[in-house]
Amino acid sequence: MSPLFGDFTAKDWSEVFSIPSAAVPQALIVHGEVGHEHNLARWAEILGPNILRPQWNMLLGEYDDKKLGFANVLGGPMAAMAAHPCCVMGTELMIQTGYFGGLSQSVDYGQVFIVDRVKASCGTATCYGFEEDYIEADEELVQAARTYCESKGWPYVVGALRSTDAIFLETIDLARAWADEGQLGVDMETSTTFSVARHLGRRPIALLNLSDHMLRGEHYFEYKSQRQELGKEIDRRIRELALHLATTQIADEPAQVFEPA
């Protein structure tokens, strides 16, 4: 009988996705956004010319002599499908990027949101054993991200996030309740990426861009042109920061593969 996914070893995942051990990324950037085509095209240029495409939404390549990966996802289940196999195969860093809705007046457009902890309101993260408590980011990655933003003079904020995979059930009362708990924003993917990484012994961080400010009565579909132009610059900064972390915060020794009990 063939093993089920939860019993898969690094060798199993390598065979399923045709990823040789030499191509397993040291860091995976998991990006949450609808527009996968332009993101995959941009990252193919960054990670090229020798690109592997193990999944339709994932690229593996090199940058600054480091083995890196990029996956474009939407929601927790897609994030897990990208992160889990890589974590088992030995990917050390899980870097979540994407967008969030604001829940605090301390966050504003033009900032990089460095997530140091996240609480889950989604099913996938709870399946990995994180139901009530915050899931912590890697402290060294958070500090390295802060240091880099300060060296560049970029505005940033550090704090807690909420993740949900049911954004169409969000109400102003729910947003205020999350804000009262101290969460600065809400997204769809970070709690899953963090929970997969922590469950499998890897180091996560999230770097997010404000798409809409919920406590101001804004929502995702009111993405005005002025905010869009500023958002593009923050996207660029987040890509730069993610690449900096991915190439400077990897351990000298390769990470051990995860072997199921």
In angstroms, the CA 107 to CA 210 distance is 8
What's domain 25-215+224-248's superfamily in CATH? Nucleoside phosphorylase domain (3.40.50.1580)
- 189, 101 in Cβ contact below 8 A? no
Length of the chain: 261
Domain locations in the chain as residue ranges:
25-215+224-248
CA distances from 24 to 27, 83, 149, 154 (A): 9, 12, 28, 32
HEC profile for 35-47? CHHHHHHHHHHHH
Radius of gyration of the chain (CA): 17
Continuous segment of H or E residues that includes residue 48: none
Amino acid identity, position 14: S
What pLDDT does 230 receive? 85
Give, for all 261 residues of the chain, the pLDDT tens digit.
678 999 999 999 999 999 999 999 999 999 999 989 999 999 999 999 999 999 999 999 999 999 999 999 999 999 999 999 999 999 999 999 999 999 998 999 999 999 999 999 888 888 998 877 899 999 999 999 999 999 999 999 999 999 998 888 888 899 999 999 999 999 999 999 999 999 999 999 999 999 988 888 776 666 666 677 888 999 999 999 999 999 999 976 666 776 666
Model confidence, pTM: 0.94
